[in-house]
Chains A and B, each alone.
Chain A
């Protein structure tokens, strides 16, 4: 989620490329399979990279901070 910072009130809905949650801050940029992607958290980056690498069932412990507080 990008709020207007120029006083024009035009907003953009920016989502995590893995889980789809709104990203309010800068997010985490990473390259996955040659493409630039934006993630809400380390967990989503790791999960997405594992899935793209063909791992059907990645096992990455969830962050302990509730619903995507990192975003």
Chain B
């Protein structure tokens, strides 16, 4: 194998995927693409294997192999023509959840399909029972929006008007969705052009051989990583606090079998599928398992289907890990996915304790809203992420204010948020004391308080309003999240469940909000790693001086005393022991 050529082609393909992503960001209409970057761009070979992917949304990276497989099973290669673009979002056949739309474009060389350009993006508005795509009280797929099996949206370079009409007639924001669909299509168009340039430069045979070698290389690297882990059967469990419908917990139970250079990740014994929309699809079960394994292994392994070959996932149908038709599922990709990853980390903490982190907040907040904006006489729909605290690690505190582990999404700047939607942001801050105590503290989460300036309906799909992120090795728990509501003219804050008589405080649909009302969304903090008695005094003082931990809490947990501050000199860059500073 020519390693130099392989490296050049691999890097070129990853660069193409990145360029496709920038294209989506620059051309989309919705802030979820232009600001939050909730999309992923990839390349696949004609056999449906992912051969390259850019580092956008991890939830979608692990989903690509199953998505491409389901697409080529449904539309055989000999029925795909040059210039076609296929769209697909069906959660029951490889899709991740209803909002996630995937575009596939074949890449022809000499009349033969050599590869596919793939772009997945999370559409904010997909029809269904609420504006914004996250009906916290959905009980079937039909509440969650339009389901699209793999169909051609463009045939031989020409729009298929019937498909466009069907898609846009069933959403509340057709102009925005039109722009976003075009953005994803332009990304696969770009991917096609760049790949034709690349393959033409090296020739089809060299390209195929090199990609084949690349897949084998990734597989060998992943096998070597797994082989370095101690063999064993490692188990863990954690739960979603409710499903928005019933006040009961839904458990994810995982057994990770490390066997030589292979891993079997078995979810047998997880709860039966829920009535409410927290169920994972098979695509999510795969994607979350792969996501966890990518986090636990060498980040320099080229990410393609090869590195997934040594991993087998068992996700029995009809469970919260693999929803059966027509069960609801939209929160499976946002709430259940990160909980699955944290369960695998919990299991693997007994195997490779230095590579895992304590539980992060495991939610994206998924605060959605929509209505008719009187300012510009147009319907609107929005999705706002609320960032959690990450878990502490063996070598560092958890990250503050970070999107949950399968999102990697950016925040929407307040200026953009207020311009695009009828809200004024009154508070956007780290939550002091939200990270779990420990030798390495859990990360702090975010609190965002918004004043409504227009009429709208709000909905939410989040978790951990009743539960907390666990710590590892005697690390403390992070604090819970909350969503609070204040009616215009009132000084009282209530949970959504209290104010609107909803079964769940964290999952609800279509709550009416009027001008002058306020909503405050608070995300859960991360768990700590290691005993709090082992925390370095300088780190405790820094926490207090930065306002990350209140003096009272620091005194309670760490025995902090005000005089400790005098022991350190603030150089402007860091704290140093006063004696050393002198």
Contacts and interface: CB of A to CB of B under 8 A. Distances in A.
Contacts of B317: 15-17, 20
A19 B315 contact: yes
Interface in B317-331: 317, 321-322, 324-325
A66 B309 CA distance: 5
A36 B314 CA distance: 19
Given A20-B316, A24-B73, 15 more contacts: A1-B70, A1-B73, A3-B74, A17-B316, A18-B314, A19-B313, A20-B285, A20-B314, A20-B317, A47-B314, A57-B257, A62-B264, A62-B309, A66-B49, A67-B286
A28 interface: no
27 contacts: A1-B70, A1-B73, A1-B74, A3-B74, A13-B324, A15-B282, A19-B313, A19-B314, A19-B316, A20-B282, A20-B285, A20-B314, A20-B322, A21-B282, A22-B93, A22-B282, A24-B73, A43-B312, A47-B264, A47-B314, A59-B259, A61-B262, A62-B262, A62-B309, A66-B49, A66-B65, A66-B308
Contacts of B73: 1, 24
Nearest to A56: B233
Nearest to A9: B149
Contacts of A56: 233
The B interface is mostly helix, strand or loop, or mixed, namely: mixed
Query: Most chain-B CB neighbours within 10 Å: which of A1, A21, A51, A67?
Result: A67
Given A15-B317, A20-B285, A20-B317, A67 B305 contact: yes
Contacts of B467: none
A9 to B, nearest CB: 10
B69 interface: yes
A1 B93 contact: yes
A45 B316 CA distance: 13
Contacts of A1: 70, 73-74, 93
A43 B317 CA distance: 17
Interface string B272-309: 00000000001001100000000000000000010011
Nearest to B68: A67
Contacts, number: 67
B562 to A, nearest CB: 54
Query: Most chain-A CB neighbours within 10 Å: which of B285, B315, B317?
Result: B317
Contacts of B316: 17-20
A3 B70 CA distance: 12
Interface string A50-70: 010000110101101011100
Interface string B489-501: 0000000000000
Contact of B315 (A17, A20, A64): A20
B17 interface: no
Given A1-B93, A67-B65, A67-B305, A62 B312 contact: yes
Contacts of B315: 19-20
A21 B93 CA distance: 9
B66 A67 contact: yes
Given A21-B282, A64-B309, A67-B66, A15 B322 contact: yes
B268 interface: yes
B92 interface: yes
A20 B324 CA distance: 10
